């Protein structure tokens, strides 16, 4: 069984006029599309420095070829999500990868560019000592979720609401899992979130983060 932690990146293919609607509402569709692309680049940047296996999980089978073109190397794999809600998608991909031999999985999205190498080290260390690790988001959700065991049924949770983090922890506790929490973070969903990055990203020398910073500076003038 593979004892390395597998990084699983849940993502959507950036499309003009789709996604990041709260950013589009104040900055326009062009800006929302550019931000979505830049955020995806940050997650891919993290994948290139990840020491273990990496799985890119696009939103549908139709985007498999697109996802295949994003990643290079033997330790990369594309596993499209199934139909249904986010909880069902997570259960599906988690089960499939465990059937292939993965035992420790860390799921992230593409909306948390403040995930630093230090934060990933924290996730890894916590996963070595606990059944489940959740990274709380300031809006009540999570920015990362890792597990050494299959997730409980997730489809009935209130995804994309302030209650999600508590519900996720409760579901894991009810299944008998020991849950640990990492340092809190936040997702980038609004113009205000972008403005926050103006303070944090200048201290981050990673190239994709610097490109995101330049984009935000241009968009916000």
Token pair of 150 as six digits = 């299959």
Distance from C-alpha of 113 to C-alpha of 178, rounded to nearest angstrom: 27
Q: How far apart are the first and last CA of the chain?
A: 51
Cα of 135 vs its chain's centroid, Å: 11
Percentage of the chain modeled with pLDDT above 90: 89
Distance from C-alpha of 125 to C-alpha of 111, rounded to nearest angstrom: 22
Query: What pLDDT was estimated at residue 1?
Result: 37
Is pLDDT above 60 for 170?
A: yes
Average pLDDT of the residues of the chain: 94
Query: What pLDDT was estimated at residue 139?
Result: 86
Is 75 or 118 the better-scoring residue by pLDDT?
Answer: 118
If one counts every other C-beta atom within 10 angstroms of the C-beta of residue 41, the result is 18
Fold of 2-189: Spore Coat Polysaccharide Biosynthesis Protein SpsA; Chain A (3.90.550)
Query: What pLDDT was estimated at residue 73?
Result: 73
- Residue range 12-47, pLDDT digits in tens: 999 998 889 999 999 999 999 999 999 999 999 999
Strand order across the 102-108 sheet: 76-78, 54-58, 2-11, 102-108, 142-147, 132-136, 179-181
User: Phi/psi of residue 24, each to 5°?
Assistant: -60, -35
Distance from C-alpha of 6 to C-alpha of 104, rounded to nearest angstrom: 6
Q: Is 134 within 8 Å of 122 (Cβ atoms)?
A: no
Domain ranges of the chain: 2-189
- Residue range 47-61, pLDDT digits in tens: 999 999 999 999 999
């Amino acid at each position: 069984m593979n004892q390395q932690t597998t990084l699983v990146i849940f993502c959507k293919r950036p499309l003009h006029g789709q996604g990041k609607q709260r950013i589009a509402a104040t900055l326009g569709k062009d800006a929302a599309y550019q931000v979505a692309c830049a955020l995806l680049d940050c997650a891919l940047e993290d994948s290139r420095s990840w020491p273990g296996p990496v799985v890119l999980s696009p939103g549908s089978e139709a985007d498999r070829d697109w996802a295949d073109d994003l990643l290079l190397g033997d330790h990369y794999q594309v596993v499209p999500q199934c139909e249904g809600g986010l909880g069902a998608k997570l259960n599906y991909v988690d089960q499939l990868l465990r059937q292939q031999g993965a035992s420790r999985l860390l799921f992230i999205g593409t909306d948390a560019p403040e995930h630093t190498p230090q934060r990933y080290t924290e996730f890894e260390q916590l996963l070595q000592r606990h059944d489940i690790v959740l990274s709380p988001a300031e809006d009540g959700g999570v920015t990362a979720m890792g597990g050494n065991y299959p997730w409980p049924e997730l489809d009935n949770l209130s995804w994309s609401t302030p209650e999600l983090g508590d519900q996720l922890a409760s579901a894991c506790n009810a299944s008998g899992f020991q849950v640990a929490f990492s340092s809190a973070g936040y997702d980038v969903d609004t113009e205000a979130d972008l403005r926050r990055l103006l303070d944090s990203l200048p201290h981050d020398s990673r190239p994709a983060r610097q490109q995101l910073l330049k984009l935000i500076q241009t968009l916000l003038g």
